[in-house]
Structure 1
Amino acid sequence: MKKALIIGAGPAGLTAAYELLTKSQDYQVIVFEETQQFGGISRTVNYKGNRMDMGGHRFFSKVPEVNEWWQNMLPTQGHPSYDDIVLDKHMELTEGGPDPEKEDRVMLRRNRVSRIFFDRKFYDYPISLKVETFKNMGLLKTIACGFSYIGAMIFKRQEKSLEDFYVNRFGKKLYSMFFEYYTENLWGRHPSEIDPSWGAQRVKGVSILEVLRNAFRKKTGKTGGKVETSLIEEFSYPKLGPGQLWDVTAEEIKKLGGTIIMNAKVVKIRKKGNHIVGVSYLQDGKEIDIDGDVVISSMPVKDLVAGMNDVPAEPARIAAGLPYRDYMTLGVLVPKLNLENKTKIKTIGNIVPDNWVYVQDRTVKMGRFQIYNNWSPYLVKDLEHTVWVGLEYFCFEGDNMWNMTEDEFAKMAIDEMVTLNLISDASEVMDYHMERVKKAYPAYFDTYEEMDKLVEYLNTIDNLYCVGRNGQHRYNNIDHSMCTSFETVKNIISGETDRSNIWNVNTEKEYHEADEKGVSEAEDEVEVD
Structure 2
Amino acid sequence: MNKVDPSKVVVIGGGPAGLTAAYELLKRSDRHKPVVFEAGRLVGGISRTETNNGYRFDIGGHRFFTKVPEVESMWHEVLGDDFITVPRLSRIYYRGKFFDYPLKLINALINIGPYESTRILLSYFKWQVRPYRKEENFEEWVINRFGGRLYMHFFRSYTKKVWGISPREIRADWAAQRIKNLSLFKAVWNALSGANDTASLIEEFKYPRLGPGMMWERTADIVRQKGGEVHLRSEVVRVNRAGSRVTSIEVKHWFEDGREPVIEHVEGEHFVNSMALRDLIHAFDPPPPPEVIAAADKLKYRDFLIVTLVLDHPDPFKDNWIYIHEPDVKVGRIQNFRAWSREMLPDQDTASIGMEYFCQQDDGLWSMSDADLRELASRELEHLGLARASDVIDAAVIRQPKAYPVYDSEYRAALDVIEEWIDSLENFQTAGRNGLHRYNNQDHSMLSAMYAARNILGEKLDVWNVNVERSYHEEFEVPRKDDAEAGATPSLAAE
Return the TM-score normalized by structure 2.
0.92
For the 8 Å contact 1:328–1:436, the answer to whether it is kept is yes
Shift of 1:149: 0.7
Q: CA deviation at 1:278?
A: 0.9
Letter in 2 for 1:254: R
Corresponding position of 1:443: 406
Aligned to 2:263: 287
Whether 1:204 and 2:180 are equivalent positions in the alignment is yes
Match of 2:320 among 331, 337, 355: 355
Conservation of the 8 A alpha-carbon contact between 2:307 and 2:377: yes
2:75 is the alignment partner of 1:70 = yes
- In structure 2, what residue type is equivalent to 1:148? S
* SS class of match (2:330): coil
Deviations 1:1-34 (A, max 9, x none): 3210000010000000010011012212100000
Task: Select the residue among 430, 434, 438 that pairs with 2:397.
Answer: 434
Aligned amino acid, residue 318 of structure 1: A
For residue 179 of structure 1, give the secondary structure of its aligned residue in structure 2.
helix
Give the structure 2 partner of residue 147 of structure 1.
122
2:59 match: 54
Is 209-218 or 135-144 further displaced after alignment?
Answer: 209-218
Q: Is the Cα–Cα contact under 8 Å of residues 43 and 54 in structure 1 kept in the other structure?
A: yes
State the match for 1:507 in structure 2: 468
The answer to whether the 8 Å contact 1:321/1:446 transfers is no
Q: Which residue does 1:306 correspond to in 2?
A: 282
List aligned pairs for 1:209-228, cutoff 5 A.
209-215=185-191, 218=194
Structure 2 partner of 1:370: 335
Deviation at 1:208, TM superposition (A): 1.1
Pick from 294, 307, 319 the counterpart of residue 317 of structure 1.
Answer: 294
Mark the CA change 1:387 to 1:57 in structure 2 (over 3 Å): closer, same or farther.
same
In structure 1, the residue matched to 2:378 is 414
Q: Quote the Cα distance in structure 2 between the aligned partners of 1:283 and 1:373.
A: 36
Q: Which residue of 2 aligns with 1:379?
A: 344
Structure 1 residue 245 corresponds to structure 2 residue 202: no
Structure 2 unpaired stretches of 5+? 1-5, 255-260, 479-484
Q: What CA distance in whole angstroms lies between the structure 2 residues aligned with 1:42 and 1:356?
A: 16
Deviation of 1:242 after TM superposition, in Å, equals 0.3
Q: Deviations over 1:389-415 (max 9, x none)?
A: 000001111321111110011111211
Paired AA for residue 334 in structure 1: L
Whole-angstrom distance in 1 between the partners of 2:100 and 2:117: 15
Contact 2:474 2:487 survives alignment (8 Å):
no
**CA distance, structure 2, for counterparts of residue 458 and residue 380 of structure 1:** 44
- TM-score normalized by structure 1? 0.86
Distance 1:350 1:272 in 2: 57
Residue 259 of structure 1 is matched in structure 2 by 229
**Shift in Å at residue 516 of structure 1?**
4.0
Alignment partner of 1:195 out of 161, 168, 171: 171
Q: Structure 1 pair 371/350, CA: closer, same or farther in 2 (3 Å)?
A: closer
**In 1, Cα distance between equivalents of 2:152 and 2:182:** 17
Shift of 1:463: 1.0
Deviation digits for residues 165-199 of structure 1 (CA, Å, limit 9, x no counterpart): 11111111111111111110111101011111110
Distance 1:70 1:449 in 2: 32
SS at 1:251's partner residue? helix
Consecutive aligned runs of 4 or more in structure 1 exceeding 6 Å deviation: none
Q: Quote the offset at 1:514 in angstroms.
A: 6.9
Residue 355 to residue 272, structure 1, CA distance change in 2 (3 Å): same
Deviation at residue 276 of structure 1 after TM alignment: 0.5
2-structure distance, mates of 1:137, 1:216: 17
RMSD, matched Cα: 1.9
Is 2:309 the partner of 1:332?
yes
TM-aligned CA deviation for residue 513 of structure 1? 6.9
Matched-pair contact (CA < 8 Å) for 1:188–1:395: yes
Deviations, residues 294-328 of structure 1 (Å, cap 9, x unaligned): 11000001111110123011111111220000001
User: 1:30 aligns to what?
Assistant: 35
Q: 1:403 to 1:513 in 2, by over 3 A?
A: closer
Q: Amino acid of the residue matched to residue 328 of structure 2?
A: T
Comparing 59-68 with 443-452, greater Cα deviation is found at: 443-452
- 1:506 deviates by 0.7
Shift of 1:462: 1.4
**1:236-256 CA-partner distances (Å, limit 9, x unpaired):** 000000000000000000000
Deviation at 1:378, TM superposition (A): 0.4
Q: Partners in 2 of 1:490 and 1:216 — Cα distance?
A: 46
Question: How many pairs were matched up?
Answer: 473
Determine the structure 2 residue equivalent to 1:274: 244
Q: How does 1:21-170 map to 2 (within 5 A)?
A: 21-76=26-81, 106-126=82-102, 128-157=103-132, 158-170=134-146
SS of 1:402's equivalent in the other structure is: helix
Aligned-residue offset at 1:331: 0.6
The one-character-per-residue Cα deviations of 1:59-102 (angstroms, maximum 9, x if unpaired) are 111111111111111124xxxxxxxxxxxxxxxxxxxxxxxxxx
| Residue 129 of structure 1, CA deviation | 4.4
Does the CA contact (< 8 Å) of 1:306 and 1:320 recur in 2? no
The verdict on how the C-alpha distance between 1:60 and 1:140 changes in structure 2, with shifts beyond 3 A counting, is: same
State the shift of 1:131 in Å. Answer: 0.9
Q: Is the 8 A contact 2:136 2:172 kept in 1?
A: yes
Change (3 A) 1:470 1:414: same
Instruction: Work out whether residues 358 and 367 of structure 1, in 8 Å CA contact, stay in contact via their aligned partners in 2.
Output: yes
CA distance in 2, matches of 1:208, 1:416: 31
User: What's the offset of the Cα at 1:466?
Assistant: 0.9
Q: What amino acid sits opposite 2:443 in the alignment?
A: D
8 Å CA contact 1:323–1:446 kept in 2: the answer is no
After TM superposition, the structure 1 = structure 2 runs for residues 424-503 of structure 1, keeping only pairs within 5 Å, are 424=388, 426-445=389-408, 447-450=410-413, 451-496=415-460, 499=461, 501-503=462-464
- Cα 1:411–1:526, aligned 2, differ >3 Å: closer, same or farther? farther
Cα displacement (A) at 1:286? 2.3
Equivalents in 2 of 1:269, 1:164: separation in Å? 41
In structure 1, what is the equivalent of residue 151 of structure 2? 175
The residue identity in structure 2 corresponding to 1:132 is: N
Partner of 1:405: 369
Deviations 1:111-161 (A, max 9, x none): 0111111112111224x2411110011111101111111111111112111
CA distance in 1, matches of 2:206, 2:355: 23
User: Is the 2:310–2:392 contact (alpha carbons within 8 Å) kept by the matching residues of 1?
Assistant: yes
Name the CA distance, whole Å, in 2 between partners of 1:192 and 1:520. Answer: 29
Q: Give the distance between the partners of 2:32 and 2:249, measured in 1 at CA.
A: 17
Q: Which runs of 5+ in 1 are unaligned?
A: 77-105, 337-348
Alpha-carbon distance in structure 1 between the residues aligned to 2:240 and 2:212: 33
